[in-house]
Structure formats: structure tokens, C-alpha cells
Structure 1
Amino acid sequence: MSLVVTGATGHLGRLAIDHLIARGTPPADIVAAGRDAGRLDALKSLGVRTAVIDFTDPATLAAAFEGAEGVLLVSGSEVGSRVQQHINAIDAAKAAGVTQIVYTSAPKADNTTLVLAPEHTATEEYLRASGVDFTIVRNNWYNENYTQTLGQVQQTGVYLASTGTGRVASASRSDYAEAAAVVLSTPGHTNATYELSGDVAWNGDDFAATLSDVLNRDVVFESVSSEAHTEVLRSAGLDEGTIGFITALDANIAAGELDKITDDLSTLIGHPTTPVADTLRTVLS
């Protein structure tokens, strides 16, 4: 029997494999599955098996899932196409006799206005109705999502967003990957849904203070309206689709969609979650 990790060449999937191995799963019992054969080859040095899969090609999924006990279904990256892709993976896992599917979802997926949630909500509904035992891990925001702002903030001393007083209960990608590895490889998580978050929820002013410390310079939080934010992003040359996504997400944060703190994540991984400052310092180093 084996454990299959989809998205194995992406950040979250690769970290989940690392945590599975660190927690005692024999590498030979792990199947690293992804689309890029070349990048998968680089994982063979870990001792894991590999499988090239395409969520739009059920035959590749059937081959990868054959003989598997559990599957970590890392949500796909093709927004707009993910529901059918996830359905294909769930159907293939069921047909292969997989006894547990772990799915990486969005926070409060069954009761949220979060712009990213609808495809996750539909996937959760299909998974629950599939008849396969599941574990749903609803990941809050990643600390790493803010690393791209470091260069601009270092230059300007300004962290600009339209999040208002909204808070984000973020944690590191590694924390979330470790939780996925735990529920995939240990008993006691059958048909459970976990709301995973960082131990602390921070707002724009808090983040500016963190940036001041990390960058060793004064940083202020400039809180702007969605309309003003749109104009700033447009003047920076971003396309309308990207602008719409960023401002919608900031509006979600302002409305409190990412501020929920639970102890699910720290309990599963057995240690405190990683503060955003620690992640930023790691990136800078």
C-alpha cells in the first residue's frame, strides 16, 4: 500500500512529502505525483516513487492511485477548471480502492464570501458524497504570500492595502504541509474537517510593525479604499483580472474572512505555528 501526494512538484506537495518522511513514512511507500516529469525526476533522490498525472486525463490518475491507501489531493492551480479536475481525481481514487482522501480546501469553505472559496466548496460537497473516507484541511492564508511585497516595501517604507482593520490568521506553508502529512499518515481523522490557521491574527498596522523589524527600517501601513487600491495597481501596470482578484481578496480580509483562529493546526503538528516575521526573515536570509 502507498500514500500518493498530488502536486508533488509544487511547494505544498513537496513539503508534505518531506514531512511524511521526517515523521517516519518509508520513502518507498510514497508516490509523488505531478504533471512535470522532469521535476518529478528530481524527487527520486528522496527514495520516493513518482507518477506523471494530469487531472484532465483520468487514465493517468488511475495508474498513479493503483494500490494506494491514501491520497493527498492538493487543490489544483487552474482556477476556473478545478472542480472537474478534482472530481476526476476523487472518482479515480474511489475506483482504485483508496480508503482516505485528504483535500486541501479554503477557510470556512461552507460559509464564506472568500473569492477563492466556490471551487473548494463544490469539491468538498462532491467529496462528502463520494462514499470515500476523507479529511478536509481548510488552510488559511500562507505567510509566504507576503514575501513578494518585501522589495517594494524596502524601497518605499509603505505597506499599502485595502484590508482596513481586517486580520489574517496566517501560518507558514510548511505548517500546513505538516498537518496534511499528519492526517494522511496517522489514524483518528476519518471524515474530519479541520479549520487550520496560525496562532495569531494580524492586521495591517501589525504587519507594518513586523516589516519594520524584519527590514530594519520604518514601515507604515497605508490603508486605502478598494477604488483607490484599484487605481494604484492599475498605474503599476497590472492587468484588470489581477487587480480584481487582489482588491476582492483585500475586501474579504476587511470583512473578516481570514481572521478566524483555531488551535487545529498547532494541535495537529504538535508545536506553535510559524509567525509571519520568521517566514519573512527566512526568505531574506
Structure 2
Amino acid sequence: MTTYAVTGATGHLGHLVVAELLSRGVPAADVVAVVRTPDKAADLAARGVQVREGDYDRPETLPAALAGVQRLLLVSGSEPGRRVPQHAAVIEAAQAAGVGRIVYTGILNADETTNPLAGEHQATEQALRASGLPVSVLRNGWYTENYTERLEEFLQRGEIVGATGTGKVSAAPRADYAGAAATALLTDDGDVVVHELGGEAFTFAELAATISDVTGTPVAYRDLPVEEYTAELEQAGLDAGTAGFVAGIDASIAAGDLETSSDDLARLLGRPVTPLADVVRAARG
């Protein structure tokens, strides 16, 4: 039997992938949840999943975590600035453990994006290719939850503020990306497979209009030049570096870096990507 491992399995995405594998009939005993704090994965252990300690920042924990694993989902680390050494440690441990394939959650349009988060993902892709292991790269677009988790804020303010211009975001909910990751773990073949993943693209003005339609509360989008948006973020309490980083992401959206015409996500899911309005409706309750 094939043994599948998922890193970051107590995080939002990793936990969903483990659940997706189980729902597709993978025996729980053949699923390994690699987690920093095993006690936080008690619900997975109760379902029969193998819970193993594996900490990106403690490479000595990784060999035992990946022992006997044939296919591994490497969920990218959550701490910008630390991801390259963290991912390198997992890749090295996977090589030593004889893992047969790594599936990695990267960033959309990694080859050409100006997104300030992209550098670490690009470096990880290079390390994966250099490892000699078969690799599937899931170049994930933004989570729709990046916006719906701020729904109450948008409704209270009556506006969304940004510097995205008419740029579009090909977002999708985490559950859709989790379904795609499960499919890649179960079916991908070949030396290097790259999937550009995203849903139907929308502008921030369209996001505001959808929120207005679904909730019945008017929300508008107020677009600012990058410099003005940066200044407004600083006035809201962000330090200059963080404000510039957030505004830089918006600038990359304006440039089209988070938009894709690829149907890879729908194809891996075997169904249409969940529409924006449905995600907003679910968030609204």
C-alpha cells in the first residue's frame, strides 16, 4: 500500500487535505499527519491517522516523520523569510527517506510574478528540481478566505480599500485547493508536473459588488495609488515595512500576477471551482 504524508496537517489547508484523502477511501493507517505539536492533531489520531512530530525548524525530527512515506505533500511554511531553509530541510529528509514524489504548494504564476512573496517559492521550486525527485508543483492562487475572513470589517466600513486597479484575482476556497492537492497526491505522474491553480477571476470592484449582492449591505471598492495606500496603511498602525509589503502585493495584483486562465483547478477537482458568491454566502452564514 502507498503511504501518504501531509506536512502542516493541523493547519487550515493540511487538515483539509488529510480529510479529503480519507473521504476518497485512503485507509487512515496509510495517511501520515506531520505536525509540529502532535497533541493538536488528536482528532486525526482518533480517526486512525498516523500522527508524527515533524518541525520545519528542527530538521532532526523529519527523518522519523517521513520514514516509509511514498508520497508527500509539502505545505509551504507560514513564516515569510524562513521558508527556504525550512523547505530545504524537508526536501533533504524526503530524499533520505526514499520518498517517491513530493507535491508542493507554491504560488500562482511563479515563473514571472512580481509578488513580493514569490522569491521563496521560486527558490523552493529550484530546490525541488535539483533534488532529482519526481515533483508536482501546485501553484496556488489566493484563498477566497483572504477576503471573506474580513467580511465583517468590509460590511462595517462599507468599503474595501486597496491599490489593485482593475487587476483580477483568480481566488478559490481552501477546500478546493485541498481537493486538488489530494488528486495530485493520488494520481500525478512524470518527473515534474506543474499546475497553475485558481478560480474565476474577479476585480476588487467585483468583489465589493458580490458582497453587496449577497449580504444586502452596500460595499464599494476605493482604489488608491500604491504610495497613498501605503501611507493609509501606516496611518492605520502598520510599520513602514509591513505597509510597503501589503501595498506591494496589491501592485502585483494590478499587474495581473494573481490571475490565470488555467483550468487546472477545475480539472483536478473534477467539477467547477466554487464561485465567489457561494464562499461569501457561506461566510455570512
TM-score range (shorter-chain normalised) is over 0.9
- Mind listing any 5+ residue stretches in structure 1 that lack a counterpart? none
Instruction: Give distance in 2, aligned partners of 1:150 and 1:238.
Output: 20
Who is 1:208 aligned against?
Answer: 208
Q: How many angstroms does 1:46 deviate by?
A: 2.2
* Per-residue Cα deviation, 1:30-73 (whole angstroms, up to 9, x for no partner): 00011122212232122201011111222211001101111100
Instruction: Give distance in 2, aligned partners of 1:220 and 1:34.
Output: 41
The two structures have a TM-score, normalised by structure 1, of 0.96
SS at structure 2 position matched to 1:194:
strand
Q: How many angstroms does 1:84 deviate by?
A: 1.0
Contact 1:169 1:260 in 2 (8 A): yes
Who is 1:171 aligned against?
Answer: 172
Who is 1:134 aligned against?
Answer: 135
Is the counterpart of residue 241 in structure 1 residue 279 in structure 2? Answer: no
Instruction: Give distance in 2, aligned partners of 1:185 and 1:21.
Output: 12
Instruction: Give distance in 1, aligned partners of 2:190 and 2:261.
Output: 20
SS at structure 2 position matched to 1:24:
coil
Q: Return closer, same or farther for 1:24/1:189 CA change in 2, 3 Å cut-off.
A: farther
1:121-160 matches, within 5 Å, as: 121-160=122-161
1:1-285 matches, within 5 Å, as: 1-188=2-189, 190-198=191-199, 200-285=200-285
Contact 2:143 2:173 in 1 (8 A): yes
Q: Return closer, same or farther for 1:190/1:45 CA change in 2, 3 Å cut-off.
A: farther
CA RMSD of aligned residues (A): 1.3
Partner AA of 2:160 in structure 1: Y
Instruction: Give distance in 1, aligned partners of 2:153 and 2:59.
Output: 43
Partner AA of 2:9 in structure 1: A
* Per-residue Cα deviation, 1:244-278 (whole angstroms, up to 9, x for no partner): 22101000001110111210010011001012221
Indicate the larger mover: 142-151 or 38-47: 38-47
Instruction: Give distance in 1, aligned partners of 2:239 and 2:277.
Output: 30
SS at structure 2 position matched to 1:68:
coil
The two structures have a TM-score, normalised by structure 2, of 0.96
Contact 1:33 1:40 in 2 (8 A): no
* Per-residue Cα deviation, 1:162-212 (whole angstroms, up to 9, x for no partner): 1001000111111111111111012446521110111x1111221111010
Contact 1:70 1:98 in 2 (8 A): yes
- Mind listing any 5+ residue stretches in structure 2 that lack a counterpart? none
Indicate the larger mover: 2-11 or 47-56: 47-56
* Per-residue Cα deviation, 1:104-159 (whole angstroms, up to 9, x for no partner): 00111122211111000000011011111111110011100002331222112112
- Which structure 1 residue ranges, 4+ long, deviate > 3 Å from structure 2? 187-190
Name the % identity. Answer: 47
Instruction: Give distance in 1, aligned partners of 2:119 and 2:29.
Output: 36
Contact 1:183 1:189 in 2 (8 A): no
Instruction: Give distance in 2, aligned partners of 1:166 and 1:189.
Output: 34
Q: How many angstroms does 1:235 deviate by?
A: 2.1
Partner AA of 1:42 in structure 2: D
* Per-residue Cα deviation, 1:208-246 (whole angstroms, up to 9, x for no partner): 110101221122111111122122222222233331221
Contact 1:102 1:180 in 2 (8 A): yes
Contact 2:170 2:259 in 1 (8 A): yes
Indicate the larger mover: 209-218 or 248-257: 209-218
Instruction: Give distance in 2, aligned partners of 1:192 and 1:52.
Output: 28
